[in-house]
């Protein structure tokens, strides 16, 4: 009759599938979050995500208390803690929102089996996507491997049902009287960062506001810009996108709520294209979750298997180039500025994720998995499915029709998307005095211009670590194995 809701990456008290189903089906509903040692122990000791979660948990606990319930917060191995807690609270069922990462799927299967042995039910709910698993298939009943037909089928399914059916919010407040406060011995305060074994980061200083309130604030701010999203989103010096990615990662916003707003705005003449383009990005997110569900092997292998044969650079020289890339010392200003943005803020603009990923793979010849892992460590919004999808796109080994010989030129990208060099100047102040014309490839600037700007290449800013034209030819040769394999 009583049940437990296990919160993971859904840190909100509204429009929450698992919480809703638990409240509907039981008389007393406990809520819990486990700081899972199986995940935390592998992280660096200063990690913005841990702080983001901790702060979001504080807000969630308070919100649940405000509705007559509360949040039990434990620090241990979730796989053991959840069954133990379920026994201790004598609940008949555990409700949770599904997680599609292969490791989480396996963990949940073990938890479910353990609970079942004790006669406790385990319910997984769809919450973090609009459509999951097999919900959007091709006419032949197969999962899509290319985005555009997937998107068309996704939109068709959305509009096939009554208005807003799939985007409806799960009402929580009206059933909230069924929330149960935790027993006194489990009602301890949320642990501190230090108690979890972590150090503070610069999350607050850089203006990141976690929790439901932070997500709401960002969306309010973005709402007025949404109509121009399609024009503004590609320029890293412009505030064009929503910056909601970390909130989507930790579920402090509801994907249904966001998609609903986009669909509503799409109908207005003034909002149309911006909202449609933004909805498309939310569909990309569903797409990559779907790909991960159907092809869990992409976690460490190419989606297109013939690309696993590409021979990557390795050894001391490759390690040095990799370090230069991580630290923003490649000599290509847009790449370096982007890598600094990542290091300093835990975020990188989408266009620059594409540029820096292509640069690592196709200019430096380094295995995409190394770059993927680095992003996974540094990004506050790190999402296995989207990160893997983005990296495989850049490696041309993923779900995309784009051929491998389409190679980004880092200088042209810079001229096109940061024409005035505003983004570059912000993250590479040592280049600030260079005129826009020369900031994209400073090593080509006339000596007089460099002198006037007070810059010596090799002293104030590195010479390029590779020549793009030569690197391009090496990449074409490297990828030739793919053609042979066909
Ligand atoms: P907006 O432009 O406002 O988009 C709204 C939301 O749509 C995003 O928050 C995100 O949830 C989703 N979205 C947008 N673009 C994509 C996309 N291409 N694929 C999937 N979902 C998308 N996104 C992550 O959330 N986590 C990652 O770890 C991640 N790694 C990436 C790695 C590479 C190499 C590339 C090319 C892209 C990656 N992306 C990742 C996708 C994208 O860059 C970010 O989602 C976006 O920059 C986040 O900023 P925003 O919230 O302002 O996005």
Helix (H) or strand (E) holding 36: strand 28-36
CB 60 within 8 A of CB 13: yes
Q: 3-state class of 296 per DSSP? A: helix
**Catalytic sites, residue numbers:** 281, 284, 312, 350, 368, 391
How are beta strands 28-36 and 2-7 bridged, if at all?
A: parallel
Claim to verify: residue 122 and residue 72 sit in the same structural domain: yes
Residues 115 and 217 in one domain: no
- What's the confidence (pLDDT) of residue 200? 96
Q: Could you read off the pLDDT tens digit of each residue along the chain, which spans 486 residues?
A: 999 999 999 999 999 999 999 999 999 999 999 999 999 999 999 999 999 999 999 999 999 999 999 999 999 999 999 999 999 999 999 999 999 999 999 999 999 999 999 999 999 999 999 999 999 999 999 999 999 999 999 999 999 987 789 999 999 999 999 999 999 999 888 999 999 999 999 999 999 999 999 999 999 999 999 999 999 999 999 999 999 999 999 999 999 999 999 999 998 887 689 999 999 999 999 999 999 999 999 999 999 999 999 999 999 999 999 999 999 999 999 999 999 999 999 999 999 999 999 999 999 999 999 999 999 999 999 999 999 999 999 999 998 777 888 899 999 999 999 999 999 999 999 999 999 999 999 999 999 999 999 999 999 999 999 999 999 999 999 999 987 766
Interhelix angle 410-417/350-358, rounded to 10 degrees, is: 170
Residue 101 sits in the same domain as residue 141: no
Nearest CA to ligand 1 atom 31: 387
Alpha-carbon span 9 to 251, nearest angstrom: 5
180 alpha carbon – ligand 1 mean position (Å): 37
What ipTM was predicted for this assembly?
Answer: 0.99
CA angle 240, 242, 248 (to 5 degrees): 155
DSSP sequence for 241-289: S---HHHHHHTSS-HHHHHHHHHHHHTSTTTHHHHHHHHHHHHHHHHHH
Q: Which residues partner with 435 through β-bridges? A: none
Residues 157 and 119 in one domain: no
CB 431, CB 439: distance < 8 Å? yes
Select from 96, 127, 158 the last residue of a domain.
Answer: 127
Q: Of 386, 337, 344, nearest to 359 (Cα)?
A: 337
For position 485, what pLDDT does the model report?
65
The residue among 226, 239, 327 whose CA lies nearest residue 279 is 226
Same domain, 288 and 310: no
**Ligand 1 contacts CB of residue 353 (under 6 A):** yes
Do 282 and 380 fall within a single domain?
no
Q: Specify if 86 maps to a domain.
A: yes
* Residue 206 lies inside a defined structural domain of this protein: no
Q: At what angle do helices 272-294 and 147-160 cross, to 10 degrees?
A: 110
Q: Which two tokens stand for residue 8?
A: 């993971």
Question: Do residues 316 and 448 both lie within one domain?
Answer: yes
Q: Are residues 289 and 311 in the same domain?
A: no
344 and 261 in one domain? no
The range of the structural domain enclosing residue 12 comes to 1-127
Ligand 1 lined by 190 (C-beta under 6 Å): no
Residue nearest to atom 30 of ligand 1 (CA): 387
Say if 155 falls within a structural domain: yes
Domain end point (choices 264, 294, 324): 294
Domain contains 207: no
Do residue 283 and residue 381 come from a single domain?
no
* Nearest CA among 470, 413, 475 for reference residue 441: 413
Return the number of other C-beta atoms located less than 10 Å from residue 353's C-beta: 22
C-beta separation of 482 from 404 below 8 A:
yes
Q: What are phi and psi of 406, to 5 degrees?
A: -85, 105
194 located within any domain: no
Contacts (Cβ under 8 Å, ≥6 apart) of 168: 256
* 343 within domain boundaries: yes
CA distance 13 to 186: 20
Q: Is residue 405 part of a domain?
A: yes
Contact criterion met (CB below 8 Å) for 342 and 206 = no
Write phi, then psi, for 76 (nearest 5 degrees): 180, -160
- Closest atom of ligand 1 to CA, residue 222: 3
Please report, for the domain that includes residue 261, its CATH number. Answer: 1.25.40.80
Distance CA 415, CA 153 (A): 36
Tell me which of 261, 294, 327 is where a domain ends. 294
23 Cβ below 6 A of ligand 1: no
Q: Would you say the CB of residue 482 lies under 6 angstroms from ligand 1?
A: no
What's the number of CA atoms in the CB half-sphere (13 Å) around residue 408? Answer: 27
| CATH code of residue 387 | 1.10.579.10
Q: Which residues pair with 76 in a beta bridge?
A: 36
Question: Do 251 and 110 share a structural domain?
Answer: no
Residue to mutate (ligand 1; options 244, 352, 386; most atoms within 8 A of CB): 386
Total number of domains constituting the chain: 3
Question: Which of these, 140, 145, 396, 127, lies nearest to 287 by C-alpha position?
Answer: 145
Q: Does residue 283 sit within a domain? A: yes
Instruction: Give pLDDT, residue 274.
Output: 95
Residue with tokens 């309010």: 220
Residue of the nearest CA to atom 44 in ligand 1? 350
């Amino acid at each position: 009759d009583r049940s437990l809701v296990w919160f993971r990456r859904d840190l909100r008290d509204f429009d929450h599938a698992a919480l809703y189903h638990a409240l509907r089906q039981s008389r007393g509903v406990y809520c819990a979050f486990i700081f899972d040692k199986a995940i935390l122990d592998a992280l660096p000791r200063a990690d913005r995500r841990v702080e983001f979660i901790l702060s979001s948990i504080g807000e969630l606990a308070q919100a649940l208390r405000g509705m007559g319930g509360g949040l039990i917060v434990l620090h241990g191995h979730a796989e053991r803690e959840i069954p133990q807690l379920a026994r201790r609270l004598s609940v008949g069922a555990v409700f949770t929102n599904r997680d599609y990462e292969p490791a989480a799927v396996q963990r949940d299967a073990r938890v479910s089996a353990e609970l079942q042995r004790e006669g406790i039910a385990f319910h997984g709910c769809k919450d973090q996507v609009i459509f999951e698993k097999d919900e959007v298939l091709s006419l032949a009943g197969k999962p899509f491997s290319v985005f555009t037909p997937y998107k068309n089928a996704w939109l068709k399914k959305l509009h096939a049902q009554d208005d807003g059916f799939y985007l409806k919010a799960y009402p929580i407040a009206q059933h909230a009287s069924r929330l149960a406060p935790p027993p006194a011995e489990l009602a301890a305060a949320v642990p501190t960062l230090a108690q979890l074994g972590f150090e503070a980061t610069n999350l607050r200083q850089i203006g990141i506001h976690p929790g439901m309130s932070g997500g709401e604030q960002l969306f309010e701010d973005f709402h007025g810009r949404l109509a121009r999203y399609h024009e503004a989103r590609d320029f890293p010096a412009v505030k064009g996108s929503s910056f909601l990615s970390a909130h989507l990662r930790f579920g402090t916003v509801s994907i249904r709520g966001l998609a609903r707003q986009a669909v509503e705005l799409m109908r207005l003449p003034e909002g149309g294209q911006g909202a449609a383009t933004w909805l498309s990005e939310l569909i990309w997110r569903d797409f990559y979750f779907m790909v991960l569900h159907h092809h869990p092997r992409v976690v460490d292998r190419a989606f297109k298997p013939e690309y696993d044969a590409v021979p990557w650079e390795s050894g001391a020289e490759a390690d040095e180039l990799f370090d230069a890339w991580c630290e923003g010392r490649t000599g290509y200003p847009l790449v370096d500025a982007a890598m600094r943005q990542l290091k300093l803020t835990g975020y990188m603009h989408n266009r620059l994720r594409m540029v820096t990923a292509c640069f690592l793979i196709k200019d430096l010849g380094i295995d995409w998995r190394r770059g993927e892992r680095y992003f996974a460590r540094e990004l506050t919004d790190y999402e296995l499915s989207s990160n893997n999808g983005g990296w495989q796109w850049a490696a041309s080994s993923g779900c995309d029709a784009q051929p491998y010989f389409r190679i980004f030129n880092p200088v042209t990208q810079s001229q096109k998307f940061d024409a005035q060099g505003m983004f570059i100047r912000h993250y590479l102040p040592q280049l600030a005095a260079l005129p826009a014309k020369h900031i994209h490839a400073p090593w080509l600037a006339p000596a007089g211009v460099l002198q006037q700007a007070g810059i010596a290449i090799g002293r104030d800013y590195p010479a390029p670590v590779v020549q793009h034209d030569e690197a391009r030819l090496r990449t074409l040769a490297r990828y030739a194995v793919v053609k042979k394999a066909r």
